[in-house]
Structure 1
């Protein structure tokens, strides 16, 4: 799902006019963003993610603004986003990642590994991305189904990382 379509879905029954007033842009700008005639500026994306607190909108925006290097919402014909289905797939993906992880030897310096070992590391990384996709969707579906705030979960997690000195807290403008 592209960002404009994700915005339209998140907007739901809120009129373009009402949203445009809240975002301090014209109604025509909202229309152009939703139909993807114009990209959604990063400052507006931040406001939209804060307002709608929609994990699927947040994933779409993150993927779009990182040139596809983040989790996209799964929306294909083979996808079942019921929480039990997502939980089952997540468990399978975590197990597959752990199996691949056990096969690699990361203690050796990268310059001294053989091509076969390098391929195993790449396969492990790809299994990690599969697990990341599954876990992210499980958290998103849990937010949707149980009424958790996607934004608040990420804020709580950031506070945990800050308190453990894993990251420095950045000042936010929005």
Structure 2
């Protein structure tokens, strides 16, 4: 799926017209139309304006990958995913439990340089389990925001401020 298609989908999910988006982003309606039809290249500086204006969790996930390359949390949309909060909570709980159980197998007492190739691969697998847990948690956040009609953008801003207040982030 291209970012242009994701823009159209996000705009439709938010019931926003190209004209309404143009008022909020300072891009003219014609520019937005050309971007969506790929007659104009989607510029990186458009990402911030469109993401902030639309405030659509799925669009955040798709633009996150574009802006960071491979370091991102994907929006889970596979055949075995149900986006309602109850199923996402259960899924996040399972993934987190699995990650914690795998963390117990890491040999914390051993110097890193003394690890065998097999032990290093085991740590790599544990990292992947932690990523599974993280992505399930952030997808749960998206599901809850959608269910309760919360702005994911506003919640993230509040959360970042709380991290600073708790001296977890400068």
Give the TM-score normalised by the residue count of structure 1: 0.85
In 1: Cα distance, 2:45 partner to 2:136 partner: 28
Q: CA contact under 8 A between 2:92 and 2:136: conserved in structure 1?
A: yes
In 2: Cα distance, 1:155 partner to 1:19 partner: 22
Name 2:79's counterpart in structure 1: 77
> How far off is 1:106 after superposition?
3.6
In 1: Cα distance, 2:81 partner to 2:49 partner: 29
Is 1:11 paired with 2:16? no
How many pairs align? Answer: 168
Segment of structure 1 superposing worse, 31-40 or 48-57: 31-40
Structure 2 residue matching 1:103: 3-state secondary structure: coil
Give the TM-score normalised by the residue count of structure 2: 0.87
> How far off is 1:122 after superposition?
0.4
Within a 5 Å distance, the mapping from 1:57-136 to structure 2 comes to 57-136=59-138
In 2: Cα distance, 1:96 partner to 1:35 partner: 43
> Structure 2 regions of 5+ residues with no counterpart?
none
Q: CA contact under 8 A between 2:62 and 2:74: conserved in structure 1?
A: yes
In 1: Cα distance, 2:132 partner to 2:63 partner: 19
Moved over 4 A (4+): 36-39
In 1: Cα distance, 2:134 partner to 2:40 partner: 30
> How far off is 1:146 after superposition?
0.9
In 1: Cα distance, 2:142 partner to 2:77 partner: 13
In 1: Cα distance, 2:28 partner to 2:39 partner: 14
> How far off is 1:37 after superposition?
5.3
> How far off is 1:39 after superposition?
4.8
In 2: Cα distance, 1:130 partner to 1:36 partner: 33
